[in-house]
Structure 1
């Protein structure tokens, strides 16, 4: 069950650094293409994790929901590029709402699966209460972000069109969903950290970091008067977005590593002979 501690950090550094290098060296188009690759990669890695679980494994369900949330992103890119709309509402807003519902639903699913598993059977009620207290205090930052976004949106006046209403609703749901994933991921990390040296908690720690990065992007969007990530053009915001997606890709990569079959241990004369050959 052990996995390299620095695998997730290395992956995120490569993803974000690669995006920055591509944009600096070849222009904004190359940087955007690099990020589209990260977004497709996170879908592929989540799909691989789902495949690694058998049909009856409880963790397969929340990973499938997370896969759906990540798979919506390429659809949003296409809808934005083609300027698709339904009844005067941009399709990207509709897709963002569904994607964020799946996003928050996945962390709920992870919590239910882990809460009902034998992994946490030895945790006492007091330990869970302390976990809720610590994570709840950290989640206050997420609530502050939500309050800021609501205040900023309200200060602009009531939306005047159906698309403007959809944009405001999308922004609120996105912020709430990202804060929920951030707090929920931290809660799972707190519960799982003593188990197997904390390696099982690594995917959820990365999910929490990813949710926090998405939360920063939500605030950035509202502060600049925009509604979707595709509207952001400054390099810093793009790098934060790349970090968010790379965190979830790294979480799936580590989960796949944890699920990889381990080679059987060989003991007896065969092992002694192999050791002698290595010597």
Structure 2
């Protein structure tokens, strides 16, 4: 049960570098981004179907898949300008997607916490994990505090859609902070197992959550709501990094779950080599 070291980093570099090159050379950065968003959905679906129907990890991966699958719907609704009862549909979808997003990392924690993988971890080890990750999660709380103060400074929303936008921003920031802190917690408790390979997907999820947190602050500072509203290149690259982290996490998880060819030894091995 091993994954190639550096696979996630390599994928992220290719994804973000490709996004930048497509933007600069062909003015097709948005097309690259749409492809990346579809790819992460496809990779997550692959992971879901690699698990058997009764495997406990399949459920949180399915929830993560649903949260990521909402993104293409948000793009379409924004492009078409769809609304419901005077509220942009993108806001409703963003809230729904972020609820699934946070729910997935909570689900991973429950599944792994009750598994035999952690049966030998002591209560003290888990307490230290909570302490370390809790201190790191303060950074996420700082992001949340900034966004709340910034939104409050603009006064009370005056329309239903403005309220929806404010709620969307708050839910998104809280969700991303949960994924960031939850991912780090899972990395901390899983890192000694199987040489750390099992922890790699959750490390990438934590990085992805952190990147989404940066985008959340960027959106609020720019007085905008959705990533589709951001037009500056740095923000777009950070968004690409966030999605690439989750695509890489799914890619590594699929690699860990890939069926391995049986090892052949003795006379049969010699026959295979001759063939």
TM-score (norm 1): 0.97
Q: Which residue of 2 aligns with 1:213?
A: 211
Q: How does 1:260-271 map to 2 (within 5 A)?
A: 260-271=258-269
Q: Which residue of 1 aligns with 2:10?
A: 10
Q: Which residue of 1 aligns with 2:222?
A: 224
Q: Which residue of 2 aligns with 1:187?
A: 185
1:272 CA displacement: 5.0
Cα distance between partner residues in 2 of 1:3 and 1:180:
26
Cα distance between partner residues in 2 of 1:129 and 1:237:
36
1:41 CA displacement: 0.3
Superposed CA RMSD? 1.1
Matched pairs, number:
275
1:269 CA displacement: 2.4
Secondary structure at 2:220 match in 1 = helix
Q: Which residue of 1 aligns with 2:234?
A: 236
Q: How does 1:63-82 map to 2 (within 5 A)?
A: 63-82=61-80
Cα distance between partner residues in 1 of 2:36 and 2:244:
7
Deviations 1:175-196 (A, max 9, x none): 0000000000000000000000
The alignment status of 1:96 with 2:94, answered yes or no, reads yes
Deviations 1:120-166 (A, max 9, x none): 00000000000000000000000000000000000000000000000
Secondary structure at 1:119 match in 2 = helix
1:266 CA displacement: 1.1
1:8 CA displacement: 0.5
**Equivalent of residue 113 in structure 1, options 86, 111, 114:** 111
Q: How does 1:21-60 map to 2 (within 5 A)?
A: 21-27=21-27, 30-60=28-58
Cα distance between partner residues in 1 of 2:146 and 2:97:
22
Deviates more, 1:264-273 or 1:120-129: 264-273
Secondary structure at 1:261 match in 2 = coil
Question: Any unmatched runs of 5+ in structure 2?
Answer: none
Secondary structure at 2:135 match in 1 = helix
Cα distance between partner residues in 2 of 1:254 and 1:3:
6
Question: Any unmatched runs of 5+ in structure 1?
Answer: none
1:263 CA displacement: 1.1
Cα distance between partner residues in 1 of 2:19 and 2:181:
27
Deviations 1:38-73 (A, max 9, x none): 000000000010010111000000000000000000
1:262 CA displacement: 1.0
Q: Which residue of 1 aligns with 2:247?
A: 249
